[in-house]
Amino acid sequence: MCGIAGVAGKNSKALVKKMLEAIKHRGPDGSGVYSNGDITLGNVLLNITGDAPQPLTDGGALTYNGEIYNFREIAQRLHIATDSDSEALFTLIGAKGMEAAIPELDGDYAFACADGEKLHLARDPVGVKPLYYGTGAGFAFASEKKALSAIGINEIHTLKPGHMLTYSAGKITEQKVAGFAAGEPITDENTASKALYEALGRAVKKRRYMPCALAFSGGLDSSIIAALCPEAELYSVGMEGSHDIMQTKKAAQLLGLSDKLHLHELSIGEVESALPDVIRAIESSDPLKVSIAMPLFFASTDAHNDGIRVMLSGQGADELFAGYKRYESMNPAELELALKKDLDNIAGNNLERDDAVTMVNAVELRVPYLDSEVVELALRIAPELKVHNSVRKYILRLSARKILPHELVFKEKKAAQYSSGIYSALLKLARKNGFMGERALGRYLEKLSSELI
- State the helix-helix crossing angle for 220-228 and 189-207, rounded to 10 degrees: 60
Residue among 2, 113, 212, 229 flagged as catalytic:
2
* Beta carbons within 8 Å of 88's beta carbon, 6+ residues apart: 68, 71, 72, 74, 75, 78, 80, 82
> How far from 439 is each of 99, 427, 442, 443, 444, CA to CA, in Å?
46, 10, 5, 6, 9
Measured in degrees and rounded to the nearest 5, phi and psi for residue 199 equal: -65, -40
Pairing of strands 213-215, 233-239: parallel
How many Å apart are CA 314 and CA 365, to the nearest integer?
A: 10
Known active-site residue 2: yes
Q: Which of 147, 137, 72 is nearest to 107 (CA)?
A: 72
How many Å apart are CA 126 and CA 136, to the nearest integer?
A: 28
- Largest Cα span, the chain: 66
Measured in degrees and rounded to the nearest 5, phi and psi for residue 14 equal: -65, -40
Cβ neighbours, 10 Å, residue 340: 12
* Beta carbons within 8 Å of 79's beta carbon, 6+ residues apart: none
How many Å apart are CA 270 and CA 48, to the nearest integer?
A: 30
- 28: helix, coil or strand? strand
Q: Give me the DSSP letters along 283-337.
A: T---HHHHHHHHHHHHHHHHHHHTT--EEE--TTHHHHHT-SGGGTT--HHHHHH
Query: Given CA atoms 442, 445, 450, 453 in this order, what sign does their dihedral have?
Result: negative
User: What letter would DSSP give residue 135?
Assistant: E
- State the helix-helix crossing angle for 440-452 and 268-282, rounded to 10 degrees: 60
Give me the helices (H) in 361-439, please: 372-380, 394-400, 406-409, 416-419, 422-432
How many Å apart are CA 67 and CA 311, to the nearest integer?
A: 13
Residues forming the active site: 2
